[in-house]
Structure 1
Amino acid sequence: MPTVKVTIGDHVLAESSDTIVVEGNHYFPPDAVTKSEFSDSKTQTVCGWKGTASYYNAVIDGKEVKDVAWYYPQTTTDKAKHIEGYIAFYKNKVTIEQV
């Protein structure tokens, strides 16, 4: 599998050749994400088959990008268990490319 890289400007937020694609989104293993760029968001959403998603904001060069990424800390169905804890990014807030 090719390596997938997520950036904002010259800041790398995630990079991995071990992503899981669900509904067109790359979910990155937690150890492939630069969490030092993140702060917790208060946003939560609910998916019928994945569960309740939590969000991260990114702080890039002192500027906050709200709800740039989401993850499911605990999925609600076996079908989604393989992405539990994995992190996905909003395509309109970051650059996602195969390198």
Structure 2
Amino acid sequence: MKAVIGDIVIAEAPKDELISIEGNWYFPPSSVKDGLLEKSPTPYTCPWKGECQYFTVDVDGKRLQDRAWSYPTPYEGGIKRVGKDFTDYVAFWKEVKVTE
């Protein structure tokens, strides 16, 4: 599967390596292209997944703030609920298209 903006691939991995959580595909950290995500200071804590790290997606000079996120230290209960460890896996908001 691929996460793309226009013709630029931001992340790519086989579908069986992704994790689906609440309708979003989470990509393994190693599948995300270097240099396209910049940590954002936006705070958020999910009641069951834990503290979220947002990222600004920077592609060809177009900056999309907080359009990617991950959970660097998810709650143990969240990992049990999902059934897999999703530490540092990255999901994307709607402007980033996820396709097979």
Shift of 1:39: 1.1
The aligned residue for residue 12 of structure 2 is 15
> How high is the TM-score relative to the length of structure 2?
0.86
1:20: how far off? 0.7
Segments of 5+ residues of structure 2 without an aligned counterpart are: none
Give, in whole Å, the separation in 2 of the partners of 1:12 and 1:78. 32
> Secondary structure in 2 aligned to 1:12?
strand
Pairwise CA RMSD: 1.3
Equivalent residue in structure 2 for 1:96, among 90, 95, 98: 98
Kept in 2: contact 1:56–1:70 (CA 8 A): yes
Unaligned 5+ segments in structure 1 are: none
Q: TM-score, normalising length from structure 1? A: 0.87
Answer 1 or 2: which has greater strand percent: 1
Q: Which residue of structure 2 lines up, in the alignment, with residue 48 of structure 1?
A: 47
CA deviation after TM superposition for structure 1 residue 51, in Å: 0.3
Report the number of matched residues: 94
